[in-house]
Amino acid sequence: MSDLFSDDDRSKEAGPAPLAERMRPRTLDEIVGQDALLAPGRPLREAIERDALQSIILWGPPGTGKTTLARVIAGVTRAHFIAFSAVLAGIKEIKAVMAEAEAARRQLGRRTILFVDEIHRFNRAQQDAFLPRVEAGDIVLVGATTENPSFEVNSALLSRSKVFVLKPLDETAIGTILTRALADAERGLGARGIAAEPDAVRAIARHANGDARVALNVLELAAAIAQRSSGPTGTAPVDLPLVSEMLQRRSLVYDKSGEEHYNLISALHKSMRNSDPDAAVYWLARMLEAGEDPLYVARRLVRFASEDVGNADPVALQVAVAAKEAVHFIGMPEGNTALAQAAIYLATAPKSNAVYTAYGRAAADAHQDVAEPVPLHLRNAPTKLMKDLAYGRDYQYAHDEPDAVADMECLPDSLRGRTYYQPRDRGFEKEIKRRLDGWEALKRKIRSGR
């Protein structure tokens, strides 16, 4: 188990902590940009201040204050507080903590608040280990995640927790944090006489894209450069030209929130669509080696599997989902080959956007046309009243037909005969098209024989 909040002698020997760590808020009042959750009188703040917190999940992008909030909770609560990271801990550490929490409640009548950073990194079995102790009241779980809890947190655990969404910090909030760091003589840059022009502060805040940690890291580097370049008259200011040069240099490498991010994912997508595995794996490597979130890439591959391959190769979606699961299970850098395998498979698969266009046409009709009721013959009739109202009447059970196909309309009357799915003559869709054409001919034969 790893204590995320320790400050031992070894860290002191290694030199001062980064500015972002030193400036981490110590009280609820120091946290900026999350007033919707933490302003006086808000339920989460009340629960923390009254030490009456129940299990919660803190969901938000990096640098918005999830770990900071957990530290504040640790300082306020009278409960036993334990923290560890899902990146470092395994099932053995989880079971040890659960046993410790159970003993603390039974022997001391004291509850345990357990903070789990990056809880989405835990697999289902690891998350399940928390459930008995959460249900028994031995622990109050505080989980932090950058991923959607609906998909990444066990549904049983999620149902027993309240999700609080931390928003990306706006430029005003980031500016406040930077100004505070410049003025703070104890923890920030105030004792070094660092001055920053307002335009430079605004440029850093804009570049940070809602992430306080990124903003403080840029400010700290800019301050160091300004000090090194200062003359005998004192420290040069952190000005806009200095910051602009730094940010431009950085974005040339890769900016996950900027234009290059979208350029690269577009290049990957279009290379796969054009059946070019070499270009696909190159653009994939460019993104991963620059630090792109592998799960973001995996999500794009899953989307591509349905949008651009579809039923031309139904296995493509399985391969993409398997790659996402592999990355989630083993992490990086080992997960890079699973993503490469999926990208190459998708690039070399037969292509069809028939599923994508079918859904688009159906969605357009669903929005534009009157929402007609489901035809009576397609409705179930579990009660006598529903049968009396003709629910299910004239329904034709396909399995009773000689070829398991009935000449029965399944669309509303206004859409009768509408065709949404038009399979291509490529890959497995060629076989699907053959089946559909055969069934249509069979229906015409049934109609002509009436």
pLDDT at residue 353 in the model? 92
Distance from the Cα of residue 343 to its chain's centroid? 20
Residue 10's pLDDT is 43
Q: Is residue 283 part of a domain?
A: yes
- The domain that contains 205 carries what CATH number? 1.10.8.60
Please indicate, yes or no, whether residues 72 and 198 belong to a single structural domain of this protein: no
CA distance 160 to 165: 16
Instruction: Give Rg (Cα) of the chain.
Output: 29
The answer as to whether 358 is a domain residue is: no
Q: What is the pLDDT of residue 249?
A: 52
pLDDT, tens digit, 9 for 90 and up, residues 4-33: 555 444 444 445 789 999 999 999 999 999
Query: Quick check: is 366 in a domain?
Result: no
Token pair 């859409």: residue: 415
pLDDT for 267-318, tens place per residue? 999 999 999 999 999 999 988 887 788 999 999 999 999 999 999 999 999 9
Q: Residue 24 has what pLDDT?
A: 92
> Total domain count for the chain?
4
pLDDT for position 251:
47
Same domain, 227 and 301: no
Alpha-carbon 168 to chain mean position = 14
**One domain, residues 140 and 27:** yes
The whole-number pLDDT of residue 379 equals 86
Q: Among 97, 131, 165, where does a domain finish? A: 165
Q: Are residues 51 and 153 in the same domain?
A: yes
Please give the model's pTM, rounded to 2 decimal places: 0.55
Sequence-ordered list of residues with C-beta below 8 angstroms from that of 116, at least 6 positions apart, any chain: 83, 84, 85, 86, 122, 141, 142, 143, 144
pLDDT < 70: residue spans in the chain: 1-15, 87-89, 231-235, 249-260, 369-370, 450
Range of the domain at 196: 171-253
Residues 71 and 147 in one domain: yes
Same-domain pairing of 248 and 158: no
Q: Specify the pLDDT at position 4.
A: 56
- The answer to whether residues 335 and 424 belong to one domain is no
The CA distance from 142 to 56, in Å, is 5
**Do residues 354 and 424 touch, judged by C-beta distance below 8 A?**
yes
CA 345 from centroid of its chain's CA atoms: 24
Q: Are residues 228 and 291 in the same domain?
A: no
On whether residue 4 sits in a domain, the answer given is: no
Looking at residue 252, what is its pLDDT? 39
pLDDT of amino acid 3: 55
